[in-house]
Amino acid sequence: MFQHYRFWAMLRFLTTDDLTPDHKTVLVRSDLNVPLQDGEITDDFRIRAALPTLETLAARGARVVVMSHLGRPKKKSKKLSLQPVADRMAGLATVPVTFVASLVGRAAKDAIKEMDPATILVLENTRFETGETSNDPDLAAKLGRLADAFVLDAFGTAHRAHASTVGVGEHLPSFAGPLLQKELEAIGKLVAGAPRPFVVVLGGAKVSDKIGVLTSLLPKVDAMLIGGGMCFTLMMAAGIKVGSSLVEVDMVPQMRELLASADGAKIVLPEDIVVATEFAEDAEPEVVGAGDIPDGAMGLDIGPVTAARYAAIVNEAGSVFWNGPMGVFEWEPFRAGTAAVAKAVADADAFTVVGGGDSVAALRLLGLEDEVSFVSTGGGAGLELLEGKRLPGLTMLERSASEIRSNGGEDD
C-alpha cells in the first residue's frame, strides 16, 4: 500500500505489489511520448524508464498490453505511429515485444487473444482516437474490455483526465506502477520537508507556464533562480531594459506584485545576458549586462557571471528542483548557461530533482543524467504536484482502491 505525503495525507491506493498478474492480461498506461526527427527516435529515455515495470509484470506471468500517446495528432498519421517505439523497446527488452496498429479495434483484440504469457504488446497511439483527450466514456469502456487489470505508470500524463489515464479506471481494478511511485516519492520529498536550503531553478520560454509553481513555491524555498525566456518578463517587471527579448506583457503587472511581495527577495534574476540580433543558430553571440540589452537584440542565454552565481547558490543547497533550460541550449553558442546549471545540479551534495523534457534533454546531452538524485519523466505533472494540486490519475487510483477494498479483495 502506498501512502502519499502530507499534502495528500488521505490519498491511498494500491500498487503492483497488490496485483497478482499470473496468467492475466494487464493493461499499462506508460509514457512513451519520445522525441522524433524524420521518423527516428532522438531520445529513448522514456522507453527505458517505462520498461522495468513492463518487464517485471511479464516476468510474473502477465500478458502486458501497453498504451501511450505520441505527439498531438489531430488524426491518424504514420509519422506519429508507435511502431518505432515498439521496435526500439523490442531491442531493449528481455522479453518478446510486438506491436499492433490498433487501439480498441478488432486487430487489437485479436492480437491480445493471441498473446503468450510473459510477453509485451504495444498498442497504437491513444490520440489517434478522437475520444481520448475528452475522456469519452465509450472509448474508456472499450479500453476496459481489453484486460483484467489496469496499471497507471505514466506520471507525465497523470494530470490529464483522458480515457487512457482516468476513464479506463472506471472499468478495471487499477494500480499504481513503480515508476509513478518513484515520481511521487521524489516530488513528495521536496514538498514535505525538503532539506534546506531549498533552491528552485526555473527556465523555459514563458512565465505563464510556471506562474502556478512560482507563486505556490516561493514562500517555501530559500532561493528561486530564473533563466530562459521567462526571465525577461520578470526583468521588465523589475524595470530592467530587455531589448527585443521575449516578454509576456500581460504578465508584467502580476510579476511586479510578486517581486514586491514579502518573498520577492528570494527571486534571483540574471546579472548578464548572452544576446544576438536574430533568433538563429549562427547568430553572433554577445555578452551584455542585464540592463544593457540593445533595442535590436534579444536574450538567448544567461551570461557567465549569472551562470557562476547560480552555480554557487546551487552548490550550497540541501535540495534542488530544476525545470526549464537557461537559454536556447540546443544551439551551441547559447548552451553555456544551461550547461553550467546542469553541471552544478549534478555536482551538488544535495537531493536533486530534474523535471521537464527540455531540462532532461539538456542533462542527457551533457551526459549528466546519472549524476542527479532523480530525473522525472513528467514536466507539467511535476509542476502541478509542487503547486499542491491533486492529479486526476491519482484520484482515479484512490477511488479504485476504495472500491476493491469494499468488495473484500485486491484484484480478484
Give 107-122 pLDDT, tens digit per residue. Answer: 999 999 999 999 999 9
Which one of the listed residues 12, 182, 189, 206 is annotated catalytic? 206
Mean pLDDT value of segment 266-276? 98
What are φ and ψ of residue 36, in 5° steps? Answer: -125, 145
Average pLDDT, rounded, for the chain? 93
Domains of the chain: 2-178+390-406 (3.40.50.1260), 196-349 (3.40.50.1260)
pLDDT reported for residue 10: 40
Nearest alpha-carbon partner for 221 in 325, 314, 339: 314
Query: Is the pLDDT assigned to residue 356 strictly greater than 90?
Result: no
Give 231-255 pLDDT, tens digit per residue. Answer: 999 999 999 999 999 999 999 999 9
In this predicted model, which residue has the larger pLDDT, 318 or 380? Answer: 318
pLDDT reported for residue 366: 93
Question: Over pLDDT 70: what percentage of the chain?
Answer: 96
pLDDT reported for residue 387: 83
The question of whether 46 is a catalytic residue gets the answer yes
Question: Over pLDDT 90: what percentage of the chain?
Answer: 79
Question: How deeply is 318 buried, as exposed, middle or buried, from its count of CB atoms within 10 A (0-12, 13-18, 19+)?
Answer: middle
Give 180-205 pLDDT, tens digit per residue. Answer: 999 999 988 888 888 999 999 999 99
pLDDT reported for residue 7: 41
**Whole-number CA gyration radius for the chain:** 22
Confidence bin at 3 (pLDDT 50/70/90): very low
Give 206-239 pLDDT, tens digit per residue. Answer: 999 899 889 989 999 999 999 999 999 999 999 9
Q: How many residues does the chain have?
A: 412
Question: Who contacts 63 (Cβ-Cβ below 8 Å, separation ≥6)?
Answer: 24, 25, 26, 112, 115, 116, 117, 118, 119, 121
Query: Is the pLDDT assigned to residue 1 strictly greater than 70?
Result: no
Which one of the listed residues 24, 29, 46, 63 is annotated catalytic? 46
* Cell 545576458, located at residue: 273
Question: Who contacts 126 (Cβ-Cβ below 8 Å, separation ≥6)?
Answer: 67, 68, 69, 103, 132, 162, 163, 164
Which one of the listed residues 109, 289, 380, 389 is annotated catalytic? 380
The question of whether 357 is a catalytic residue gets the answer yes
Query: Is the pLDDT assigned to residue 278 strictly greater than 70?
Result: yes
Is residue 274 within 8 Å of 256, Cβ to Cβ? no
Confidence bin at 38 (pLDDT 50/70/90): confident
In this predicted model, which residue has the larger pLDDT, 376 or 352? Answer: 352
Mean pLDDT value of segment 349-363? 90
Q: What angle do CA 130, 356, 149 make, to 5 degrees?
A: 50
